[in-house]
Amino acid sequence: MDFSWSAEQRELREQILDFARTQLTSDIVALDREGKFDRASWDKCGAFGIPALPVPESDGGLGKDPLTTAYALETLGYACRDNGLLFSLNAHMWTCLMPIVAFGSTEQKKRFLPGLCSGTLIGGNAMSEPQAGSDAYGIRTTARKHDNGYTLDGSKIWTTNGTEADVLVVFANVSPDRNPRGVSAFLIEKGTPGFTVTRKIEKMGMRTSPMAELYLSSCEVPEANRLGKEGAGAALFNHSMVWERGLILASAVGAMQRQLEECTRYTQERKQFGEQIGKFQLVGQRLVQMKLRLEAARAALYKVAWLRASGKSAFMEAAMAKLCISENWIQSCQDAIQIHGANGYTPEYGFERELRDAIGSRIFSGTSEIQQVIIASLLAG
């Protein structure tokens, strides 16, 4: 693998750095405290082209390869401190936009992709249910087929972007007795009769990323809104999970780079007992561990992106990247707090917020335990 960046890729990085530093300037402390989604910054990201990065030019996107996309999202995470906004962007891209690219009909692509690429439409995915989290295919939402399409009944929870979404990929079972071969995917739009957002979910972290509980009661969905073939929901979900697990934490790698740089500067500026604290061996060891975790996380990210760009399977590597980056991000946040002492424990420095955000990465897109189960099962053959 050659990870030397081209002039075009380096130029894109500089453009994203300038964009984020000059345009994504909202007060993240206030947004986090209020649990508020920053729609204005979302619109700016859409206008810049962030959601369109991995979408082929033939589908109205920018046509960037997975490595370039990972590099761009890592850069965005370095320059933008709103992890909730970035999480919502990633959920939009990997669980709604890219499934439509891969499985959508010509009409569905024409109808949804322009808005999803520009960010004028917000997308998401509704799979999890109160009794079906890690057991994703244990869903009870049903889709009863009839002449005009399908009638969906059930409930969904932990739906990222749920309160804001214009279109969601909703999974339901057309043949519960054939589970999971009966699971199918449907594109449900805001305002569809029988589709209700019942409540916004409050969270410990990622508070600027809206998450909701949904309810479907006799929700009529035309056959034209079924995404992919009937019963192909499992294949569609697995496809999107490779993208999501592999790249959803690209921005976290950028955040870890920023944390390391900030901590290094602090240890050079902060003095105790007449010495820079960076000269204290135990403080220096924390910086070393932060650097090692950063490089391991970055390597895992780029490996997945390289495999995707090469058209190779990345199912195990995506699980490894998700596990490695999430665990390393949490520890990086903890080290940053410890290095900054009491200052690190305050909202103004941002590390306590980033720790709250990072803890969620152990849970979404499959818990760390589920990633280990996936990796172990593939190793065992």
CA 276 from chain centre, in angstroms, equals 38
Copy the structure tokens of residue 277: 């604290």
- Cα–Cα distance between 86 and 24 in angstroms, integer? 11
**End-to-end distance of the chain based on CA atoms, in angstroms?**
26
For residue 161, give the DSSP letter.
Answer: T
Is 223 noted as a catalytic residue in this protein? Answer: no
- Cα–Cα distance between 60 and 208 in angstroms, integer? 28
Copy the structure tokens of residue 312: 């190779």
Which residue is catalytic, options 129, 164, 213, 244? 244
Q: Which helix (H) or strand (E) holds 183?
A: strand 183-189
Dihedral sign computed on CA atoms, order 258, 51, 188, 367:
negative
Question: One-letter amino acid identity for 176?
Answer: P
Q: Which helix (H) or strand (E) holds 102?
A: helix 98-103
Question: Nearest Cα to 42, choosing from 151, 141, 166, 225?
Answer: 166
CA 295 from chain centre, in angstroms, equals 20
Count of alpha carbons within 13 angstroms of residue 218, beta-carbon side:
0
Catalytic residues: 244
